[in-house]
A and B are shown apart, each in its own frame.
Chain A
């Protein structure tokens, strides 16, 4: 190879890249997540950042409507494009916004209507976007609130509250999110998407060799949806090893200041591998113990508030939380939370359990 500057930066060699990182770290870190989750997360982060600005008191006390529609449709309004929308420098209130899943920019139209009913009509009749997923940020309430309407404003009763504040990401809240992901996407092969199967041959009880990675993807999306103002990072390398998931949150005014809430170490427990050959019980005991130690080491290395070992049990027999019996004291000493979910190889097995009368 003739090039002598393969790793060079050319005319950017003396650039202060770290200043850009301090200003904008985390932007785009949600790549790969479903677009609707990114839309919610990026609007939540934007509103949180706007609320933290010193001049927020000058913003009109009117709702902001964010429509998941990257470009404004033809209408009698003259839309304005705002690049770098995520920097929180632009007032969002009293405007209808047209944004995509990414954080980079948006379009807005100022509105002037009498009351919420006219505002809804403006979206549905003038812009004809009544079925477009929308978020309404309402600063008129004593505690400003954001509501996500996944089916659009045509179904105003179907909404979810979206957190726009600094999150309290405790273990039990995370467990509740994972329980929800477990029931909707993991518990049986039928719950899993066709591209996200965690069983190689579920009728034989053979887990996929990619099971950990696939579970990680499901959990990352679930956590990003539940904690929209946080950033969920996965597969972070460090001298102690490679952590699975971490939940962090940047300061709304200074993205360089980051709070690391949690480190989640994921383990799949197997009694058979992908080819059907057995995995010893001893190997699984060691696997769980190594998970506890990893969770503690990664938490300390990252200065995170807490860490947990989360096991997904794909063995033949359900053991509930007994898989942790041999590490309870170790986990207590190292302050690592423990939780296990059982993954059923068939829907019938799951049905038998949930319909059994004890």
Chain B
């Protein structure tokens, strides 16, 4: 039997994910990436988890199933669908497509419905912790907006953590659940002391440099 405490825990986790989704969609909009295609939104969510330590934030979800088509969070998708149902999020171009693993999945482009989402997003800004999250996710959105649509689709496959050859497809990429090894955040933080003439990169600069290097790797660089 499900306990009241477990229900409450699940409800709280769902609420956190819904807030994260609104923050992600708002950031995508501010970076010129809205509406955002479903798998790109999941990729953005993944990067917001794996790079959170750069901003001294915990990951909302410290693990993800490694799929050939890139990360996909079923619980997050469920909450996204709920937000659509509540009228906070809009979806267009709704369709069903086969993914790289020959499974049917939903396709669509998501954006905010401002009439209903703006009051919630404005209210989030009254909490210091949420402001910090918003500033991080926004900076990350600015950083990934430097990638073309095609690069965005392939970005996570080249990410330092997701591309770990020790984790094969169908297994769990764990960077903040049972394990504490987060190659992506390590790389981003390594940029701090590489700025010419001894300057130190800001956290924002570290995110941008990480994505710029990801771009180089996507195009054959090392």
Contact = CB atoms under 8 A, between A and B. Distances in A.
Interface of A: 1-3, 5-12, 14-32, 70-71, 81, 83-86, 98-107, 233, 236-238, 246, 248, 256-258, 260, 301-303
Contacts of A238: 198
B146 A302 contact: no
Given A5-B181, A9-B186, A16-B222, A236 B200 contact: yes
Contacts of B144: 104
Given A11-B160, A23-B212, A100 B202 contact: no
B160 A27 contact: no
B61 interface: no
15 contacts: A2-B178, A10-B186, A17-B187, A17-B191, A21-B194, A21-B196, A27-B208, A29-B202, A31-B204, A70-B34, A81-B32, A85-B146, A102-B138, A102-B145, A104-B208
Contacts of A30: 204
Nearest to A256: B196
- Interface footprint category on B: 35 or more
A222 to B, nearest CB: 18
A69 to B, nearest CB: 9
Interface in B161-207: 161, 163-165, 178-181, 183, 186-187, 190-191, 194-207
Interface stretch (B79-87, B113-121, B213-221): B213-221
B205 A248 contact: no
A100 B187 contact: no
A11 B163 contact: yes
Contacts of A16: 221-222
B124 to A, nearest CB: 16
Contacts of A237: 200
B135 A31 contact: yes
A23 B190 CA distance: 16
A10 B160 contact: yes
Contacts of B149: 81
A102 B138 CA distance: 9
B209 interface: yes
